[in-house]
Amino acid sequence: MEWLKRLSGGLSLFVAVTLLAPLAALTVLGIRAASQSPLESASSPEPLFATVQSASRTHDVVVAISVEYADPVAATINASGVFTTVDLSPGDIVHTGTRVATVNDAQVIAYMSLTPLWRDLSRGVAGPDVAIAQTLLASFGYYSGPIDGKFGFGTERAVKAFNTAHGYGIGNGLLSVGSLVWVGFAPVTVASVAVAAGDAATPGSDLFLATSGPADIKVAETASIPRDQPINLVVGDIATPYIVGSGRVTDPEAVAAIAAAMGAVTEGTGTIQLDEPVVVGTLPSSAVVSDNTGATCFFPDVTSTGVAIEPLGGSLGMIDVDPSLVGRPILINPREVREGLSCGS
């Protein structure tokens, strides 16, 4: 019986050792796996390549702008006679083609221009005022010839049509300043009316007082505005040439258009941009390296010497460079795959 007890004890020890051995092996593997760094198990990063691309830049700079208004002005009558009607009320907007009154039953029409007509015009005369008249007659639909400042047959025919339509006689080829009222270079709003039907019309007397209109657009320049190339001020869909250092836009048509685009707001922002976009090379900012010597470069691969660059600006994670570099190969991730990041080696 003694030998049976010894046999039973030996079998128990064998079974215990047999069961514990795999568990011990698993424990060792677990400890080894836990002590191994994830970075050691990950694969090394691969070099990423691209080429320097081409891009167009307008070098947009946002600036503050404001509308400056002129003093109120009076619109004067040039006709003689009696006002048979006065066709204006405070708040009315007056522009080219607006009938403002009738004098002796002939219509008096408003017009806009940089300068007023100062004399009656007839066939054979010439000058800048004739060009203004031609532009005016063209806007009314009576004239389709060249704006050449020469009162010829075509201009005379247009004047006769205008006079017939507005009560100045059939076949009358004289454009009288009495048939027109100048309101400036932009539409105006009537503030008050100075006459009424039945009053005498005297050349040079006030017809109505206009509220102040936009005189110019003030621009708050910044140091980043391009100063060596032609530039524009852009407000909405309106672009007008801008002269650096002037601090304002004064072109009447541009002023009126910008003021109209801004509506009731007198202050806002515009964008200064190059009149002609410039072409540059562009590459990801991750590819650009500045070393401890102050040099800036990119690398074409993992071993070659850096290509020196002078950054010209950039946006959205991109760096602009000289356009001569367009097409050159670039290493996008040099900090991950190169041992040396010195631009000189």
Task: Using pLDDT thresholds of 50, 70 and 90, give the confidence band for residue 39.
Answer: very low
Quote the pLDDT of residue 42. Answer: 55
- What confidence tier does 252 reach under pLDDT thresholds 50, 70, 90? confident
The neighbour count for residue 231, using CB atoms within 10 Å, is 21
Judge contact between 73 and 211, C-beta under 8 A.
no
Residue pLDDT, tens place only, 63-115:
999 999 877 779 999 999 999 999 999 989 999 999 999 999 999 999 999 89
Q: Which residue has the tokens 């005498």?
A: 200
For the chain, give the percent of residues with pLDDT over 70. 88
Q: What is the mean pLDDT of residues 21-48?
A: 50
Identify the CATH number of the domain defined by range 73-210: 1.10.101.10
**Tokens describing residue 183:** 């309101």
- State the pLDDT at residue 248: 94
- Max Cα–Cα distance, the chain, nearest Å: 154
Model confidence over 204-249: pLDDT tens digits?
Answer: 999 999 887 788 999 999 999 998 899 999 999 999 999 999 999 9
Pair of tokens at residue 254: 């541009």
Q: Report which DSSP code applies to 286.
A: G
- In terms of Cβ atoms closer than 10 Å to its own Cβ (0-12, 13-18, 19+), residue 102 is buried
* Residues listed for the chain: 345
Helix (H, G, I), strand (E, B) or coil at 300: coil
The band of 315, judged by pLDDT with boundaries at 50, 70 and 90, is confident
CA distances to 100, 251, 277, 279, 286 from 298, rounded to whole Å, are 70, 47, 25, 20, 9
pLDDT of res. 55: 94
In angstroms, rounded to a whole number, what is the distance separating the alpha carbons of residues 228 and 245?
12
